[in-house]
Amino acid sequence: MTSPQPAVPYRLEARSLLSKVPEVTIFFWVIKVLCTTVGETFADFINGRLGDNLNTTTAVMSTLLVVALVFQFRARRYVPGIYWGTVVLVSVVGTLITDNLVEHFNWSLTRSTIVFGAAMLTAFGIWYASERTLSIHSIFTYKREAFYWLAILFTFALGTAAGDLIAEKYSIGYFRSMLLFAGLIAIVAVAHLRFRLNAIVAFWIAYVLTRPLGASIGDLLSQPRQLAEGADPAGFQPGLGLGTTVTSLIFLTAILAVIVYMTNQQRQDPNPAMTAMD
C-alpha cells in the first residue's frame, strides 16, 4: 500500500492554477533572449515587407499585440504559446516605437533611453505603490497583469534604445556590445546567487539587459558585412550578413521548438512548484 501524498496547501495550489506567467528557469531566459532577438530582426523584416513605412508597420503590429493581449488576459492560467507569442509581439512593437521616435520625430538615442528608462521606473513605482510587490509570480489579477505588460513594453523600448546607443552611436559594435550585456547579466547573476541581491530586483535588471543583448545578437547576425554604397562609415557596424529574413526564421523556429517543449512539460506536470520570488 502506497503512502498518501501530502496535501497541497490551498493557497499554493490556487497560485499554481491562477499564475499567468512561467516559472523562471533556464528555459525562461533562453526563450526570452530568442524573443528579444526576433524583436529586433522581425521588426526590420516586416517593415521592409510593408513598404518601409514605420508608421504603417507600427500600427499593424500594435493591432496584433492588442489581439494577443486579449487572448492573454482571457486565459485562465499560463499558456506557453499565448504568453510567448505576446512577448514576441511586445518585443517587435517596442522596437518599432523606438525606431519611430528616432527616425520620424528626431529623438536622439540618448533621449529615448532616458525617457523610456524614466517611464519604466515610473511604471514600476506605481505598480509597487498599488500592489506592494513586483514579483512576476504575484500576477493573479487583471490589474497586476496590466502593470506587468506595461512594464515589459517599456523594458523592450528601453532596451532597444540603449542597445542601439551603445552599439552604434558609441561605435562599440554589435559583437562587443553583445559581450558587454552578457557580462552585465552574469554580474547580476553572481550578485544574486553569491551576494544575496534581492531576487525580484535581480530578475528585473536581468530582464532589461536581455533586450539589448538580444538586439546585439540580432544585428550581429543580420546586418551586412560590408559598407553599403553611400552609407556613413562613422555609423556603420558590420554584421555577419545573414539578413533579417534568415535571422528571423532561425530564431522564430527556435522559439517554436522551445514553446512545444514547454507545452509538453506543462501537460506532464500541470501544477509545477512556484519559483520563490516573493
Domain boundaries, the chain: 23-226+234-265
* pTM of the full structure: 0.83
- As given in the structure block, the three cell numbers for residue 80 are 506557453
Which helix (H) or strand (E) segment holds residue 230: the answer is none
- How crowded is residue 260: how many other Cβ atoms within 10 Å of its Cβ? 12
**pLDDT tens, N- to C-terminus, the chain (278 residues):** 444 444 434 343 334 445 788 888 888 999 999 998 888 888 888 888 887 788 889 999 999 999 999 999 999 888 999 999 999 999 999 989 998 998 888 999 999 999 999 999 999 999 999 999 999 888 888 999 999 999 999 999 998 888 888 887 787 888 888 999 999 999 999 999 999 999 999 999 999 999 889 888 988 898 887 654 444 444 455 678 888 889 989 999 999 999 998 888 877 765 554 443 33
- How crowded is residue 246: how many other Cβ atoms within 10 Å of its Cβ? 14
Q: Return phi, psi of residue 266, to 5°.
A: -65, -35
Q: Return phi, psi of residue 172, to 5°.
A: -75, -30
Residue for grid cell 533621449: 111
- Terminal-residue alpha carbon distance, the chain: 38
Kindly provide the b/e burial profile for residues 76-100, where b requires at least 16 CB atoms within 10 angstroms of the residue's own CB. eebbbebbbbbbbbbbbbbbbbbbe
Per DSSP, 107 falls in state -
Burial (CB < 10 A; 0-12, 13-18, 19+), residue 166, is buried
- Within 13 Å, how many C-alpha atoms sit on residue 197's CB side? 17
Alpha helix positions (H), 50-79: 54-74
What are the Cα distances from residue 4, in Å, to 12, 13, 232, 271, 272? 19, 17, 71, 18, 19
